[in-house]
Structure 1
Amino acid sequence: MDGTLLGDDGLVPDAFWPLLEDLHRAGILFVPASGRQYQTLHNIFGEHEGLIYIAENGTNVVQNGISIDVEPVESAIIAPIVDWVRATAATGADLGLVVCGARSAYIERSDAHFVSQVRQYYAAVEVVADVQAAALDDVILKLAIYDPSFAETRSGPALRELDLPSEIVVSGENWVDVMRHGANKGRALERLQHQLGISRAQTMAFGDYLNDAEMLDASGHSYAMANGHPSILARAVNIAPPSSEAGVVSSILAALPHLQGEPVHAR
C-alpha cells in the first residue's frame, strides 16, 4: 500500500477506482497485499465485489470477510519478543510493539505519537496493560516493532540475533514484522494461486519494500516501484512509475490496453 498503490497523500489514486471495476468485469482478480491488518484494508477498499485480501504480510488471507488461510505465530516466540522490546525501550530507545491479532491489534504504549503511527495501519487496536495477556484471547498473526529510522539497522538485526523460530522482515522504514517461520506475502500468494487455479504466468505483482520480495518472485510479471528499496528494484522484472504518479494504475493499463476502452465510472 504505502509506497506502492497509495500516493504521497496516503490515499488511493482516483484513477484506480474505475480501473478496479474494469478489472472485475474482465474477470481479473485484484488482491490487496499488505502488512496492514485486514480491517484497515477493508476500510480502504470498502465493499467492492471480488476482492481477496492478503493481510498482515501474508499471515491472514480473507475473502468475503472470512479468513481462508491463516498462519499464526508460534506462541513460544511472543514472550521473548515482548521482553526484548520492553528491555530495549527501557534503555531510552524509541520503540513500540504491536501484537497483531485476527480480531484486534494490541499495544501497551499509549502516547499520542505512537498511537497515531499505529492507527495508520491498524484500524482495530486496543491499548492494554499487558499485550501478552491480551494475546491469550486472540489468534496472533504477527508482532510489529516500531523503530523510527533504525528498523533496518537496529531492530531487524537484533531480533534475528534472538534466533527464534520466526520470519523477520523489515516491512517499512520504521517497522519490523515478526511472523511464523516461512510466512510471507509470496507464500500466501502461491497458495491462493493454487486454490484458484491461477498460474504464476497469469499473475502481476507490485511492490516497493523488503516485505514484497517473495511476492514478486511468485509473479510472472513483477513490478518494483521506481521509488522502491534498491534490493526490490534489482529483484523485479519491470520498473513501474513511482507511487506518487499512480504507477500501479498506469502499469496495469499499459500491460492490459484493452481495459482503456472500458467506460469510466465514478466511485
Structure 2
Amino acid sequence: MNLANVKLVVTDMDGTLLNSNHEVSDKFLSLFKKLKSHGVLFVAASGRALYSIEEKLYAIKDDIIIVAENGGLVIKDNEIVSSVAIENKNVFLIDDILKTLPNANALYCTKNAAYTSSTSEPLLKLLSEYYNNYQIVESVHDVTDPIYKIAIYHEISSEKYVYPKVQHLESDFKVKVSANHWVDISENDANKGHAIQLLQKLLQITPEETMVFGDYNNDIEMLQSAYFSYAMENAHPFVKETARFLTKNNDSLGVESVLEELIKAKEVNIHS
C-alpha cells in the first residue's frame, strides 16, 4: 500500500494524540497545516465529549471532523452527521444493573454536559479535565437530554471490577474498556468504527486511503476500518494485536512521527 494515497487521518485523543498532561503538541498543529495543504482530512475520534475535544483542539476545531462519545456523535462543518443516543428504556435498564455494583460510579454523557450522582472524590477531580460541564443530580431520571454514553468509573480498575459484571450486556450494547478506570456503554452503532465507516462512505474514501491511531479497546473497531492502523507503544495488548503497525508512545510524539512520514510521502509523490 502506498502511504502517499492516504486521504483521511483519524486519531484518538487521550493516550494517543495527547500527552500524559492531556496536551496537544505544537508539532502536531504545525503538521496539521501541512496535512491540510495536501488535502488530507483530519478526524479527532474520542470517548471525550464534543465540547472537551473542541477545547483541546480549539485552534483547529473549525477545520476538523469530530467523533465524540466513542462514535455517538459525529460533527462535520459544525453540523451533526450522525447521532446515536441510548434509548431511554435502555438507560434505565443499565442504570438498574450499575446500582448493584459496589464502587461503580456512573457518568451520563449528553451533547453539552455530563451528569452523575456519585460522590467519589477521584472521579469529581477527573471530571474537571474530561467533562468540565458536569452536573450533580439525584438520579439518571433527572437527565432530560439524550444520553450518548454511560461511562462507569472505578477508583482502582474498571477493567477488573466492573467489566466482568457488565460483559453480558455485549450481546445488546457496545461495552468497552476505554481506560484503566473506565468502562463505556453505548448503543451498538455508537462506536468509533461505525462512525469512521460512515465518514468513509460520505467522503468516498477507502480503508486503503485511511490512517488511524489508537491506544485502548474503544479504538479497535476504527483500527479495523483502516489499512494504515497504528497502535501506540503504550496501547492495550488487544489494540496491539488489532493494529497493523506500531508507533512510539504518546509522550514521544508517536502520532507526529508517522504524520511526518506521511507528509514526506506526499511531497515525494508530488515531485516524482
- State if a TM-score over 0.5 links the two structures: yes
Identity value in percent: 31
Aligned equivalents of 1:246, 1:29: Cα separation in 2: 20
Identify the residue that residue 264 of structure 1 maps to in structure 2.
none
Aligned equivalents of 1:81, 1:223: Cα separation in 2: 33
Aligned equivalents of 1:162, 1:31: Cα separation in 2: 29
Identify the residue that residue 190 of structure 2 maps to in structure 1.
183
Structure 2 SS opposite 1:30: strand
Identify the residue that residue 115 of structure 1 maps to in structure 2.
124
**Which moves more between the two structures, 122-131 or 244-253?**
122-131
Q: Tell me, yes or no, if structure 1 residue 225 matches structure 2 residue 232.
A: yes
Q: Tell me, yes or no, if structure 1 residue 98 matches structure 2 residue 107.
A: yes
Identify the residue that residue 19 of structure 1 maps to in structure 2.
31
Amino acid at match of 2:199: L
TM-score calculated relative to the size of structure 2:
0.88
TM-score calculated relative to the size of structure 1:
0.89
Q: 1:9 to 1:47 in 2, by over 3 A?
A: closer
Structure 1 SS opposite 2:25: coil
Aligned equivalents of 2:59, 2:78: Cα separation in 1: 10
* Aligned-residue CA RMSD (Å): 1.9
Deviations 1:204-262 (A, max 9, x none): 0000111110100001100000111111111111101111101000111113315789x
Deviations 1:156-194 (A, max 9, x none): 121123577211111111100100024310110000110
Asked if the contact 1:78–1:132 (Cα under 8 Å) also holds between the matched residues in 2, the reply is: no
Identify the residue that residue 5 of structure 2 maps to in structure 1.
none
Aligned equivalents of 1:73, 1:64: Cα separation in 2: 24
Asked if the contact 1:40–1:121 (Cα under 8 Å) also holds between the matched residues in 2, the reply is: yes
* Gaps in structure 1 of 5+ consecutive residues: 262-267
Q: How does 1:131-142 map to 2 (within 5 A)?
A: 131-134=140-143, 137-142=144-149
* Gaps in structure 2 of 5+ consecutive residues: 1-12
Asked if the contact 1:148–1:173 (Cα under 8 Å) also holds between the matched residues in 2, the reply is: no
Q: How does 1:124-135 map to 2 (within 5 A)?
A: 124-134=133-143
Q: 1:232 to 1:111 in 2, by over 3 A?
A: closer
Asked if the contact 1:31–1:53 (Cα under 8 Å) also holds between the matched residues in 2, the reply is: yes
Amino acid at match of 2:229: S
Identify the residue that residue 78 of structure 1 maps to in structure 2.
91
